[in-house]
């Protein structure tokens, strides 16, 4: 049964993770006047020119696309902070730096739709890509240290990172668990093939030397 | 105000702020995520879905009014976007076959198991229960009428594939936990609110996952289902 699941397919698609991230609040500076919006997902506004306001990311992007606002990149997206985070990631092999849970999706949406609002856009993008790479590499390295275990703690992992490592880590831990506790998880495939062999009572084929 | 707040712990204030700022759309998305990532069927969130449907209906009327009254097209389009996002979240989380819900997949996969176990069957919505009747019961030939037995000569229930619940789940902790004894009592582990815990979903944990009322220490389940991998399409 384990063979049915495809380790290359994540439980959530990248679009689904992005859909989750679109509720994160972000600051915009409108260039128009608009009454408050009473949405199902919450109340936002009123909007006044040059007065900053907090809105969900999807609304910020929608207004930005229509040329109605500038998006203020969050503080963690500054070159200084990202440089510090990258250094921290490189220095500490065991721990992950604190970043927003949806840092990958937020930054990608802003790069796609609000590039002129991000100071040093290319530097910021390159730093975030480096941070992503270092973190993923760190996760992979830490996976090598897993042994038979029933719980693993990983602080400060982000949504996209969890989604990427989930299929592999799940299967790896399941395999460790299975080998440590053979009595707990019956191996259906092996049990049935063993039965078949016993029933047939055929001599085993000689292995080629 | 400051003195009033002083009587509350920081955790209580956080809880309160989270509660008042959590909209139904957030709850719907969370329900969808949990259901999709959990190795077993979770209770159907009837009240939440009903409430969301009513809100969506009201909002549809508002959007129609905007269109008719020649309101600012920008505002009308923003309300339309809010509506579409909410409808999508509602469809994903309600999972009813009639509305093309995606969560019908796990239900379909372990249909007989769910049908057999009252606990799980009670977690289905009315639409989901009708769906299982329609798709399974009506299609079986005469000699194979039982949903639990392969044929009339079977003496025990031999046709019930069961989900692998003894699997690993990834959970994001809502708050620090007391030490949990995982995997029997060999080792204990406690988790704080920043951590992703990757846990075996043994019986102890399954209890936490199963009932949303006891679902206190996990904010969200980001599960891997090593053997019950729920896929779209």
Q: Is the pLDDT of residue B177 over 50?
A: yes
At A74 the pLDDT is 96
Question: Of A1, A63, A166, which has the smallest distance from its Cβ to B227's Cβ?
Answer: A1
Q: What is the CATH number of the domain that holds A89?
A: 3.40.5.50
Chain A residue with CA closest to B30: the answer is A20
The answer to whether A106 touches A21, Cβ cutoff 8 Å, is: yes
pLDDT above 90: percentage of residues in chain B: 4
Interface test with B, best of A2, A150, A186 (most B CBs within 10 A): A150
Asked whether residue A6 carries a pLDDT value surpassing 50, the answer given is: no
**Alpha helices, DSSP H, located in chain B:** 2-6, 10-21, 24-37, 46-68, 73-94, 104-109, 111-116, 118-121, 126-136, 203-210
Of A137-146, A189-198, B144-153, give the range with the top mean pLDDT: A137-146
- Quick check: B198 and A19 CB within 8 A? no
A205 within domain boundaries: no
Q: Give the span between the Cα atoms of A75 and A55, in whole angstroms.
A: 16
What pLDDT does residue A66 have? 94
Q: What are phi and psi of A44, to 5 degrees?
A: -135, 150
pLDDT of residue B204 exceeding 60, the answer is: no
pLDDT at A52 over 90: yes
* Distance in angstroms (rounded) separating the CA atoms of residues B77 and B80: 5
The Cα A139–Cα A84 span in angstroms is 19
Chain B residue numbers touching A152 (CB-CB < 8 A): 197-198
For residues A118 and B43, give the distance between their C-alpha atoms in angstroms, rounded to a whole number: 44
On whether residue A194 sits in a domain, the answer given is no
Q: Does some domain include residue A188?
A: no
Residue bearing the bigger pLDDT, A193 or B53: B53
User: Which carries the bigger pLDDT value, residue A41 or residue B220?
Assistant: A41
Q: Is residue A135 situated within a structural domain?
A: yes
Domains in chain A, number: 1
Q: According to the model, what pLDDT value does residue B188 have? A: 56
What is the reported pLDDT for A76? 96
* Sign of CA pseudo-dihedral A90, A8, A104, B29: negative
The DSSP letter of residue B223 is E
Examine the pLDDT at B132 and tell me if it is beyond 90: no
Average pLDDT over residues A160-175: 77
**Domain extent for A169:** 14-181
Q: What confidence score (pLDDT) does residue A124 get?
A: 97
* pLDDT above 90: residue A29: yes
Interface predicted TM-score of the whole assembly (ipTM), two decimals: 0.76
Distance from CA of B44 to the nearest CA of A (A): 20
The 10s digit of each residue's pLDDT in A61-76 is 999 999 999 999 999 9
pLDDT of residue A13: 83
Q: CB A37 to CB B196 under 8 A?
A: no
Q: Which of B204, B83, B8 is nearest to A39 (CA)?
A: B83
- B182 φ/ψ angles, rounded to the nearest 5 degrees: -100, 155
A7 located within any domain: no
Q: Considering all CA atoms of chain A, what is the largest pairwise distance in Å, rounded to the nearest integer?
A: 86
Q: Do A152 and B198 touch (CB under 8 A)?
A: yes
Tell me the pLDDT tens digit for each residue of B6-62.
466 665 666 666 666 678 888 888 778 777 776 666 667 778 888 888 999 999 998
What would the mean pLDDT of B208-215 be, rounded to a whole number?
Answer: 29
Contact indicator for B132, B107 with CB cutoff of 8 Å:
yes
Q: Tell me whether residue A101 is in a domain.
A: yes
Q: Is residue A206 included in any domain, yes or no?
A: no
Assigned domain for A75 exists: yes
The pLDDT tens digits for B61-91 are: 988 888 788 778 899 899 999 998 888 887 7
Kindly tell me if the per-residue pLDDT of B172 is higher than 50: yes
């Amino acid at each position: 049964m384990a063979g049915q699941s495809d380790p290359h397919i994540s439980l959530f698609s990248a679009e689904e993770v992005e859909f989750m991230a679109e509720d994160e609040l972000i600051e915009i500076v409108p260039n128009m006047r608009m009454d408050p919006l009473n949405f199902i997902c919450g109340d936002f506004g009123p909007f006044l020119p040059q007065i900053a306001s907090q809105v969900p990311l999807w609304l910020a992007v929608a207004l930005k696309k229509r040329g109605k606002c500038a998006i203020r990149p969050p503080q963690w997206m500054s070159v200084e902070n990202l440089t510090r985070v990258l250094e921290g990631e490189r220095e500490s092999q065991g721990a992950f730096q604190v970043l927003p849970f949806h840092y990958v999706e937020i930054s990608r949406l802003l790069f796609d739709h609000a590039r002129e609002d991000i100071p040093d856009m290319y530097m910021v993008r390159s730093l975030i890509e480096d941070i992503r790479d270092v973190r993923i590499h760190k996760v992979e390295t830490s996976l090598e240290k897993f042994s038979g275990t029933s719980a693993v703690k990983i602080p400060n992992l982000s949504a996209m990172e969890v989604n990427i490592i989930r299929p592999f880590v799940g299967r790896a831990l399941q395999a460790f668990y299975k080998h440590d506790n053979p009595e707990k998880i019956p191996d259906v495939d092996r049990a049935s093939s063993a039965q078949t062999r016993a029933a047939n009572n055929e001599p085993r084929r000689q292995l080629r030397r | 105000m400051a003195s009033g707040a002083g009587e509350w712990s920081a955790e209580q204030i956080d809880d309160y702020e989270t509660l008042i700022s959590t909209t139904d759309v957030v709850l719907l998305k969370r329900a969808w995520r949990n259901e999709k990532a959990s190795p077993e069927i979770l209770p159907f969130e009837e009240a939440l879905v009903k409430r969301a449907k009513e809100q969506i209906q009201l909002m549809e009327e508002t959007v129609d009014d905007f269109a008719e009254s020649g309101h600012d097209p920008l505002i009308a389009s923003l309300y339309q976007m809010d509506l579409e996002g909410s409808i999508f979240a509602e469809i994903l989380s309600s999972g009813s076959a009639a509305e093309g819900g995606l969560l019908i997949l796990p239900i379909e996969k372990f249909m007989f198991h769910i049908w057999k176990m009252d606990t799980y069957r009670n977690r289905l919505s009315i639409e989901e229960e009708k769906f299982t009747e329609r798709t399974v019961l009506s299609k079986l030939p005469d000699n194979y009428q039982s949903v639990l037995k392969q044929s009339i000569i079977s003496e025990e229930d031999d046709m019930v594939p069961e989900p692998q619940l003894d699997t690993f789940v990834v959970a994001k902790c809502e708050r620090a936990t007391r030490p949990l004894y995982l995997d029997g009592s060999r080792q204990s582990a406690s988790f704080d609110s920043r951590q992703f815990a990757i846990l075996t979903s043994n019986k102890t944990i399954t209890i936490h996952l199963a009932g949303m009322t006891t679902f206190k220490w996990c904010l969200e389940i980001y599960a891997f289902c090593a053997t019950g991998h729920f896929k779209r399409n």
